[in-house]
Amino acid sequence: MNISEEAAFLKKIPMFADIEPAKLKLLAFTSEQVVFQAGETLFRQSEPGDAAYLIIEGAVEIIADTPAGSFILNRIERNEVVGETAILCNSPRTATVRAATPLTTLRISRDQFFELINEFPTMAVAIMQVLAQRLVHTTDMLRQATIKLPKSE
């Protein structure tokens, strides 16, 4: 996939929908295309976060490592972003992400990400929306989990 195709691809991602094509091309140009084999790890839980990954081709699994073992939390397909939380909050990775299939990603470094947000405030709003949706999703899951808990206490 070349820069122009990547830029067209980025356009389809909600977070970047409002950004003009020239800037998306710049984003693609300044990012690195990184490929993974199925089963390879993009990053591990509790590592410091330095980049987000846009999934161009393939799918990843989000995995929580707990003392009781590892659980697959979610599966994310193309046109989505993983790893942006850690670089936004400057916190360690909250989960491990592994390639579920042969995977092509665009790696956006922390510096680049903030550069973009500074340059395009509309992108910040789009990111907020994405994060809010995730929060709704998580809260929902939490509620369901709470309901399932036995009411012994």
Contacts to another protein by CB under 8 A: 1-4, 6, 22-23, 25-26, 28-30, 32-36, 40-42, 115
Between 42 and 55, CB nearer to another protein? 42
CA atoms within 13 A on the CB side of 75: 5
CB atoms within 10 A of CB 109: 15
Helix count (H) and strand count (E) of the chain?
A: 5, 8
Q: CB of 129: closest distance to another protein in angstroms?
A: 24
The tokens for 57 are: 């081709």
Q: CB of 11: closest distance to another protein in angstroms?
A: 15
CA atoms within 13 A on the CB side of 139: 6
Between 41 and 139, CB nearer to another protein? 41
Q: CB of 35: closest distance to another protein in angstroms?
A: 5
